[in-house]
Structure 1
Amino acid sequence: MIKGRLIALGGGDDDGLLKLIRNEICSAHSHIVVIATAATEVEDSGNAYIAAFEEFGCSNVMLMHIDETNEADTPENLHQIEIAEVVFFTGGDQVRLARFLEGTQLLESMRRRYIHDDIIIAGTSAGAAVMSDRMIYDGYGHYSLIKGEMKTTQGFGFIQQVYIDTHFAERGRFGRLAHAVAHDQEYIGIGLSEETGIIIKDGDQVEVFGTGVVTIIDAGKVRFSNTRQVEENEPIAVEHLIMHLLVQGYRYCLKEHLFQAIPAAAAPTKADQAPIISSE
């Protein structure tokens, strides 16, 4: 049984995500590590999130600076991950984030702790997209339904066989998520609208928080797909791709491919909507 929790936001206003993290950890003194490597200005972005967490009363927040001149696997960084109760990845460029953390002891320590400890791994935008073993990093509008236009690469692997896409409705990303799961039919696609996110518990139960809609695309019962046979620059064809729309109060069970309502007492509470920070 996986003991950690993943919390992923689709981008936009981060207020609901930060408040949810504060409610989930239940202690103002819990140790929170912010990793802003995906951002263009790492220090500015990281410090802004530290200030935002502090506004919610979190008093033990630190920025882990990892970039071209600051390596991941320092003794201090490894120690901070060992004592962290929350690791938070900011928005920005998920390919950049993966480039600096893939293959590090630091990431391996996070994966181990996620499985064995009650730790929260959270992220917004790029920090959400990178959570699974594979991630989408390219594909725009209807062009993403052309073979070769949608691209995927290795992610962080906290959860397996899931694609998480962000800014989903706002940036017209249905096509690229549908293409990804039609090509890799053992994967389930999760599209997160802005100001909307998911909590994944036990590595399986996907619950919704926020004001918008989470789109689930399931290729488990696809009868036909030409994604592996069609030539480059040709459109794809898929038969019997299943889609679900989740809002707060509902969940999707990944292993059982099951959509269900959450009993009222167990559903996450709706966060206040005052803006703090917007992710790119």
Structure 2
Amino acid sequence: MWPIAGSVALAVALLSTPAKAAELPAAKGSLVIIGGALRPDNAAVWERIVQLAGGQGARIAVFASASANPEKSGAALVERLNKYGANAFFVPVAVRLTGTDYQAAADNPELAAAVRGAGGAYFAGGDQARITRVLRRPDGSNTAVLDALWDLYRRGGVIAGTSAGAAIMSSTMFGHPKPVLATLKQGLTDGQEITPGLGFIGDDVFVDQHLLVRGRFARMLPAMLKKGYKLGLGIDENTAMVVGPNRDVEVVGYKGALVVDLSAADARQGAIFNVSNVRLSYLDNGDRFNIARHSFTPAPDKADGRLDPARPYYREPLFSADILGNSTVVDLMGKLIDSDQPEAIGLTLDSANAVQPELGFEFKFSRTGESVGYVSATTEAYSVYNVRLDIRPIVVKRPLYQYR
């Protein structure tokens, strides 16, 4: 038995009997990518994880590898999943797990067999670099437990993750990035701000989390351009993107997700970030987006709520002085799509004590012939598809003088 104290020891003892590996079908499984801060009462997300893992009694392997306290986090997640009907167990593979050798654990055949035989896996939040550190060997090859996760996924199981557990879903993830505005000013270093993820969603989609609450949509753009991604998915807190085997994405939870399309974007070369013709879409709860077809489907409560451009609700200029604020980008996009204005402007500025304090950025959102919006008759929430975004650097004169 692996030396673990407390409530997790019993879970580890259950791993002593290797599960029989199932034959791998051609179809892949599903992903549940959660933007962080998943609340215990968000039944829609928890129940979907259990359902995709096989329903009541489904075996779900819990990885608290990213956590600063894996024992506590792992025990809490096992308890939470079990309350929603799962038969979850803790996988003792973590850098900060007391009294264990994480490298030996990640290649332990009994642990790998238990993971392979499960119907799903769940990754806790924390530091995503800890996940890749424990699941890949120093030479970059897969450990036995990571191979087992891939077998589980390819066989048809579900892999879910929140925050750090969401970041690992793409083949590139943020490692130790600078703040969003500093990223726009100073760029990204491969191997430092961005590092390799585990790539469950494929090599063609970039994933980010805590998106709207922390204004992180803006940092996705330089990362995607640097690594050659054309498509990005960003998910907000207490919300999930459920990605099925047909690459259909459904948004489930409290807020929503952004689809970032750089297929026609034009980025100017230089040290300061400057890009035009980004395509931005907001998916609200219940909306769907197909990655392969690039098609959008509004939630059932919005199906009859397509907005008529000839009957706009908003009739004044649209502007925000803090486009990186909590959900500001979505609020501005919603107003634009239901407005008589052709564009909306957002700014982001820095402290006078920051690096390059005179440098800010203008975000211009524009409606095009392909822009479309829907509104729910019950919640008045918007879904907004295919808005154009241009970002350019601007000069902010310092010091700021009082208006007279």
TM-score relative to the length of structure 1: 0.85
Q: Is 1:173 the counterpart of 2:201 in the alignment?
A: no
1:53-77, Cα deviation, whole Å (9 max, x unpaired)? 122232x211001124232110111
Which position in structure 1 is the counterpart of 2:264? 221
Deviations 1:212-249 (A, max 9, x none): 02011110111x213xx42xxx3211121110000122
Correspondence for 1:105 = 144
Which SS does the other structure have where 1:146 is aligned? helix
| Cα pair distance change 1:12/1:88, threshold 3 Å | same
- Alignment partners' CA distance in 2, 1:20 and 1:61: 15
Matched, 1:243 2:280: yes
Residue equivalent to 2:375:
none
**CA distance 1:95–1:129, change in 2 (3 Å):** same
Secondary structure of 1:114's aligned partner: helix
User: Which range is displaced more, 171-180 or 126-135?
Assistant: 171-180
Residue 157 of structure 1: aligned partner = 199
Does the 8 A contact of 1:50 with 1:62 survive in 2? yes
Equivalent residue, structure 2, for 1:252: 289
Question: What is the distance in 1 between the residues matched to 2:288 and 2:122?
Answer: 23
Q: Structure 1 stretch 180-189 or stretch 153-162: which is displaced more?
A: 180-189
Alignment of 1:31 with 2:70, yes or no, is no
Is 2:78 the counterpart of 1:41? no
Work out whether 1:198 is the aligned partner of 2:248. no
Q: For this pair of structures, how many residues does the alignment match?
A: 256
User: For 1:52-91, what aligned pairs fall within 5 Å after superposition?
Assistant: 52-58=80-86, 60-68=87-95, 69-70=101-102, 71-91=105-125
2-structure distance, mates of 1:3, 1:153: 25
2:288–2:296: 8 Å Cα contact kept in structure 1? yes
Cα distance, 1:149 vs. partner? 4.2
Determine if contact 1:134/1:162 at 8 Å carries over to the other structure: no
- 1:126 counterpart = 2:151: no
Distance 2:143 2:221 in 1: 31
Per the TM alignment, residue 260 of structure 1 is displaced from its structure 2 partner at its CA by 2.3
CA–CA distance in structure 2, aligned partners of residues 42 and 89 of structure 1: 11
In terms of Rg, which structure is larger? 2
CA contact (8 A) 1:35 1:66 kept: yes
Where does structure 2 lack aligned partners over 5 or more consecutive residues? 1-25, 96-100, 137-141, 302-404
Shift of residue 97, structure 1, vs aligned partner: 0.9
SS at match of 2:165: helix
Distance 1:174 1:114 in 2: 28
Q: Is the 8 A contact 1:9 1:128 kept in 2?
A: yes
Offset of residue 146 of structure 1: 2.5
Q: For residue 203 of structure 1, report the CA deviation from its aligned partner.
A: 5.5
- Give the Cα–Cα distance (whole angstroms) in 2 for the partners of residues 181 and 47 of structure 1: 36
Distance across 1 between alignment mates of 2:180 and 2:279: 20
Displacement of 1:262? 5.4
Structure 1 residue 129 displacement after superposition: 0.9
Using a 3 Å threshold, how does the CA distance of structure 1 residues 176 and 190 change in structure 2: closer, same or farther? same
Q: Select 1:144's aligned residue among 155, 159, 183.
A: 183
Unpaired stretches in structure 1, ≥5 consecutive residues:
265-280
Superposed CA offset, 1:63-96 (max 9, x none)? 0011242321101111112211011000000011
Q: Tell me whether 168-177 or 134-143 shows the greater mean CA deviation.
A: 134-143
SS at match of 1:241: strand
Task: Give 2:127's aligned amino acid.
Answer: D
Query: Within 2, Cα distance between the matches of 1:47 and 1:189?
Result: 33
The 4+ residue runs of structure 1 with deviation greater than 6 A are none
CA displacement, residues 147-196 of structure 1 (integer Å, 9 cap, x when unaligned): 43472111112122222111111122122112222333434111111111
Identical columns (%): 30
Contact 1:163 1:190 in 2 (8 A): yes
Change in Cα spacing, 1:203 to 1:133, as seen in structure 2 (3 Å) is farther
Contact 2:231 2:259 in 1 (8 A): yes
Residues 140 and 172 in structure 1, CA contact (< 8 A), matched pair in contact too: no
CA distance in 1, matches of 2:78, 2:69: 14
Q: Secondary structure at the match of 2:106?
A: coil
Cα distance change of structure 1 residues 156 and 203 upon mapping to structure 2, 3 Å threshold = farther
Q: Is the 8 A contact 1:35 1:65 kept in 2?
A: yes
- What secondary structure sits across from 1:132 in the alignment? coil
Alignment of 1:18 with 2:46, yes or no, is yes
Q: Distance in 2 between matches of 1:184 and 1:76?
A: 37
